[in-house]
Amino acid sequence: MKIIQGKPVVPGESRGRALVSRVPLSFWGGVDPHTGEVIDVHHDLSGQVITRKALLIPSGRGSCSGSGIMLEMIRQKTCPNILISIEAEPIISLGSVLGYELYKRGVPILTITKEEYESIPDGALITVKEDGRITVE
């Protein structure tokens, strides 16, 4: 078991299995909000479902519409349980903030260092706390 002190961008508590990518992901056009499947055929997670996962992407990519996709995924309950990245993604984070405001649920979003990011194996059980503490099992 390993403890990492992340920086909460959108605080929250949750748990999920790590789904780790080495490539930035655009939620707009890259993820189907109805199913949670990564539909960008050029992405390393193409075909995988991010629903209820601890999604690790180094950063978001592009589009101001990503917040709307995140919000719709929260509404439909197809969103990841956790989003961890190296670089904060304000557009995707806005979708989670709006989810907490509109639906009383959202996605905890945290940033960690590149070294910490690279130390988390795919499939690990991730638990996050409000203060940003990340437990990797």
Catalytic residue among 63, 67, 93, 96: 63
67 a catalytic residue:
no
Strands (E), the chain: 2-5, 7-10, 14-20, 54-56, 82-85, 109-111, 125-128, 133-136
Burial 35-72 (b: 16+ CB within 10 A, else e): ebbbebeebebeeebbbbbbbbbbebbebeebbbbbbb
Classify residue 121 by its DSSP letter: P
Catalytic residue numbers read 63
